[in-house]
């Protein structure tokens, strides 16, 4: 089904009249994102983005609206498209248009709409790209390489022959693990054409956003989709990276009877066991699961052989960036019937009458059925993104020499974000005495 949109040169969104609701929600988010507000205030005074065009492909949420406001305060022209077809909040898109952001995003975009939106951001000839999953970077590079596929065909309908835009880009930043993996693979192949700051690799991002953000918002997504009880259930999590750890911790806290992890990596598997969880292959876990959630960044984690052994009424979801972790074509091929039971639940009936519930079309459940991570978490993630953007402007000449590499946000920027967050939420730290500093820095001082 194609959603009807409202279109102008500077936006394509669902409904401009949702603006007031969006503005109220933006205020709600602002009051929970103190670090970003501090940065916004400084940007307002210093105007680091005067004359700078920022092209961003992010989940268009109330939290992202605050990052956009910080960029606007700094004098930027901002072009924003969705990084997932299901994650945009339509009231926020309307409010952002009223603030002067060029927005191309709506909830339930189809493939055509999704790539048309990316094309509109590319058309602005951004100096800086901000990605969540690397779709914007990927399309820019495909255009440069002169490749054609279904996505590029859609993009070209917007751009015409004017496709050589990448040369004007100074640098970019990437929000998520999956994006970093894609970009690092490009860099290793010599295919990446400009430097990208790995926001996701900063401790102030992945120690909090990926663990506690994903932990809470994924459970929130499952609950909003199903309203099922978690206590007493067998809860299976594929992957025990930062995201899997967060989900497992919260599933345990909600009273799941068994929390089971599937892993390919021995350290992660051992960590899970030490935390009191079970570890087993998916083919075993699938037989007993009430709820399965994938958090691996890999494809086909749940596939035909697993659907075949599942219990009836198993709830299946994904919190990884792309909808490839659950093999949906396999599920479709086994099913004799499919019914949308609730807004984010598709119930598949298999030949033997067994029911399998796919949540949020296998797209990241926290953003499809819920609202993504809470503002308190995105405060630090987007503070880093704001500062990464400023870093790119300040260092654009040096970045030319770095070329197509994935680079870290400098440590001092990262720790400053963490210090500011502590201050904002009233956490007082110890301070080293001069003797302690000396002790820690000198190898001459004995034990
Ligand atoms: N994420 N954004 C939000 N509320 O805007 N919630 C989650 C939001 C990001 C998060 O940083 C993660 O790395 C990425 O979405 C996964 O696509």
Domain endpoint, select from 342, 363, 384: 363
Task: Note whether 296 and 401 are same-domain residues.
Answer: no
Task: Note whether 119 and 89 are same-domain residues.
Answer: yes
Task: Note whether 75 and 113 are same-domain residues.
Answer: yes
Helix (H) or strand (E) holding 316: strand 314-318
Predicted confidence (pLDDT) per residue in 172-208, tens digit:
999 999 999 999 999 999 999 999 999 999 999 999 9
Measured CA angle at 394 (ends 388, 399), to 5 deg: 80
Mean pLDDT value of segment 122-131: 98
Q: How confident is the model at residue 307 (pLDDT cuts 50, 70, 90)?
A: very high
Please identify, by atom number, the ligand 1 atom nearest to the C-alpha of residue 367: 6
Give the mutation target among 64, 134, 213 for probing the ligand 1 site: most ligand atoms within 8 A of CB: 213
Task: Note whether 226 and 148 are same-domain residues.
Answer: no
d(CA 198, CA 221): 27
Task: Note whether 193 and 82 are same-domain residues.
Answer: yes
pLDDT at 447: 64
User: Model-level pTM?
Assistant: 0.96
- Give the CATH number for residue 110: 3.40.50.1480
What separation in Å is there between the alpha carbon of 320 and the centre of ligand 1?
11
- Give the CATH number for residue 286: 3.40.50.720
Q: Is the pLDDT of residue 439 over 70?
A: yes
- For the chain, the domain total comes to 2
Task: Note whether 227 and 345 are same-domain residues.
Answer: yes
Mean pLDDT value of segment 327-335: 98
Is residue 434 situated within a structural domain?
A: no
Q: Is the pLDDT of residue 78 over 90?
A: yes
What separation in Å is there between the alpha carbon of 200 and the centre of ligand 1?
10
Containing structural domain, residue 321: 211-363
Predicted confidence (pLDDT) per residue in 25-58, tens digit:
999 999 999 999 999 999 999 999 999 999 999 9
pLDDT at 382: 98
Measured CA angle at 26 (ends 24, 30), to 5 deg: 120
pLDDT at 445: 72
Domain endpoint, select from 335, 363, 391: 363
Is residue 446 situated within a structural domain?
A: no
Give the mutation target among 26, 28, 59, 66 for probing the ligand 1 site: most ligand atoms within 8 A of CB: 59
What separation in Å is there between the alpha carbon of 354 and the centre of ligand 1?
34
pLDDT at 162: 87
Q: Which residue bears the tokens 């605050």?
A: 66
Give the mutation target among 28, 175, 384 for probing the ligand 1 site: most ligand atoms within 8 A of CB: 175
Task: Note whether 82 and 163 are same-domain residues.
Answer: yes
What separation in Å is there between the alpha carbon of 352 and the centre of ligand 1?
38
Structure tokens at 141: 């590079």
Tell whether ligand 1 has an atom less than 6 A from the beta carbon of residue 61: yes
């Amino acid at each position: 089904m194609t959603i009807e949109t409202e279109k102008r040169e500077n936006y394509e969104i669902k409904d401009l009249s949702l603006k007031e609701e969006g503005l109220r929600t933006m205020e709600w988010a602002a009051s929970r994102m103190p670090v970003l507000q501090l940065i916004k205030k400084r940007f307002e005074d210093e105007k680091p983005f005067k004359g700078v065009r920022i092209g961003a492909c992010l989940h268009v949420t109330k939290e992202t609206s605050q990052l956009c406001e910080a960029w606007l305060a700094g004098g930027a022209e901002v072009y924003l498209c969705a990084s997932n077809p299901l994650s945009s909040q339509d009231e926020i898109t309307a409010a952002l248009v009223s603030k002067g952001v060029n927005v191309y995003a709506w909830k339930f975009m189809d493939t055509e709409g999704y790539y048309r939106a990316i094309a509109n951001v590319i058309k602005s000839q951004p100096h800086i790209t901000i990605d969540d999953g690397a779709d914007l970077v990927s399309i820019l590079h495909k255009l440069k390489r002169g490749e054609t596929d279904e996505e590029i065909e859609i993009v070209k309908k917007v751009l015409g022959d004017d496709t050589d835009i990448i040369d004007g880009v100074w640098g970019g930043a990437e929000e998520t693990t999956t994006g970093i993996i894609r970009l690092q693979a490009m860099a290793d192949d010599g295919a990446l054409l400009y430097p990208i700051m790995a926001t996701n690799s900063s401790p102030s991002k992945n120690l909090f956003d990926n663990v506690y953000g994903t932990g809470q918002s994924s459970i929130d997504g499952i609950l909003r989709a199903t309203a099922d009880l978690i206590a007493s259930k067998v809860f299976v999590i594929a992957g025990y990276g930062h995201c899997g750890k967060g989900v497992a911790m919260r599933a345990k806290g909600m009273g799941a009877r068994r929390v089971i992890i599937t892993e390919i990596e021995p350290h992660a598997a051992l960590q899970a066991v030490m935390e009191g969880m079970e570890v087993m292959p998916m083919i075993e876990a699938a037989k007993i699961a009430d709820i399965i959630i994938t958090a691996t960044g890999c494809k086909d984690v749940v596939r035909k052989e697993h659907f075949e052994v599942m219990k009836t009424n198993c709830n299946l979801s994904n919190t990884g960036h792309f909808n490839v972790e659950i093999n949906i074509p396999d599920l479709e091929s086994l099913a004799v019937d499919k019914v949308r039971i609730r807004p984010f639940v598709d119930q598949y009936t298999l030949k033997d009458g067994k029911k399998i519930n796919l949540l949020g079309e296998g797209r990241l459940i926290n953003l499809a059925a819920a609202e993504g991570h809470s503002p308190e978490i995105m405060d630090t993630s987007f503070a880093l993104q704001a500062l990464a953007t400023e870093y790119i402007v300040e260092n654009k000449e040096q970045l030319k020499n770095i070329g197509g590499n994935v680079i870290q946000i400098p440590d001092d920027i990262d720790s400053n974000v963490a210090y500011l967050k502590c201050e904002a939420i009233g956490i007082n730290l110890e301070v080293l005495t001069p003797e302690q500093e000396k002790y820690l820095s000198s190898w001459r001082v004995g034990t």
